[in-house]
Amino acid sequence: MLKIKPIIIVAGEPNSIFLEIFFKVLKKLWFKKFSRPIILIVSKKLIVDQMKKLGFNFKIRVIKSNFLNSNQNIDNSKINIINANYKYKRPFEKISNKSNIYIENCFRIGIEIMNKNLGYALINGPISKKNFLKDKFLGITEYLAKKTKKENKVAMLIYNKKLSVSPITTHLPLKDVHKNITKIKIINHVKLINSFYKTRLNKVPKIAITGLNPHCESNYKSSEEKRIIIPALERLIKQKYKVSGPFPADTIFLKNQLKLYDVVIGMYHDQVLAPIKTLFNFNAINITLGLPFIRISPDHGPNFSMLGKNLSDPQSLVDSIKFLEN
């Protein structure tokens, strides 16, 4: 294998802002500051055409997957790519099924590299979940869990060094959330987060857990807080995990509360992602816990409204790579 394991980046949706962001990171010379090689899985033709369209000019180094088995060095003086075929008419087009075939192939190459232990971590660019997943998976987290045989054993962590959040359920409609919250899910979720913080960040995290209902109350005789969340907390506290709650979601994100915790676990997606984006904008990264390898995604979507306009902010990709340099 290479002397220094590379960061593998799956470029994601070809008709998105990702390559623009990638070029901006290069232009600022950030990549040259990174000691770890970066390899992008992308169509060579696409990256050349989008580079011209957006007014950038970088040299490209095409490598084969088997090169990763060699005992050599590779640096970031050029854009290192593994070519994935993609046919198109214009550099930026509407999403179609041919995009899906291309994305699937890029993921296949990336997962194969990671499963062979030839990559240090996997980053994927933004993907249109609705178009790519077509109701087969709730999100890319679940898609990768299936591909790596880790179904129901993963967690989404939106990480910021000041505060991270994690939803128990991910891209579920609100009407289905209460049916998908269980004691074992909450317990396993806490254990994944605790293990990540201890092994990766060398600290034991202080974790706050929200309720599901407004003010953690319900007019029903037996609320989710009483039946599920509190019993899960009690078991975790007995096992010496630093967890507290359940807290009302409308007060846990107040400043005097936030300084007490490293992570807030919520019961559903927007309960915790809306506050963290309000607090930190896009200065956060999406980390999947529980996979056989580290997987990170910048915290933004394809953003079709800004496609080809050269207006996108690269900060989340910078944060993703910086995190892997630590």
Q: Which tens digit of pLDDT belongs to each residue from 200-251?
A: 999 999 999 999 999 988 766 679 999 999 999 999 999 999 999 999 999 9
Structure tokens at 80: 């290192």
For residues 262-282, give the mean pLDDT.
Answer: 94
**Where do runs of H (alpha helix) occur along 129-214?**
129-133, 140-147, 174-177, 183-200
For residues 177-186, give the mean pLDDT.
Answer: 96
**Are domains 1-154+290-326 and 160-280 of this chain identical in fold?**
yes
What is the C-alpha to C-alpha distance for residues 98 and 88, in angstroms, rounded to an integer?
Answer: 9
Are the CB atoms for 85 and 46 separated by under 8 Å? Answer: no
Are the CB atoms for 208 and 241 separated by under 8 Å? Answer: no
Which helix (H) or strand (E) is 121 found in, with range?
Answer: strand 121-124
pLDDT score recorded for residue 326: 64
Burial environment of residue 126 by CB neighbours within 10 A (0 to 12, 13 to 18, 19 or more): buried
Q: Please state the pTM of the whole predicted model.
A: 0.89
Fold exhibited by the domain 1-154+290-326 = Isopropylmalate Dehydrogenase (3.40.718)
Structure tokens at 165: 């959040």
Domain 160-280 top-level CATH class: alpha beta
13-51 pLDDT, tens digit each? 998 889 999 998 887 766 667 778 899 999 999 999 999
| Cα angle 25, 27, 31; round to 5 | 50
pLDDT score recorded for residue 8: 95
Domain ranges of the chain: 1-154+290-326, 160-280
Name, in order, each residue with C-beta under 8 angstroms of 231's C-beta and a sequence gap of 6 or more. Answer: 183
| Cα angle 50, 55, 57; round to 5 | 85
By mean pLDDT, which of 101-105, 287-291, 301-305 is the weakest?
301-305
188 falls in which pLDDT band (50, 70, 90)?
A: very high
Distance of CA 22 to the CA centre of its chain: 16
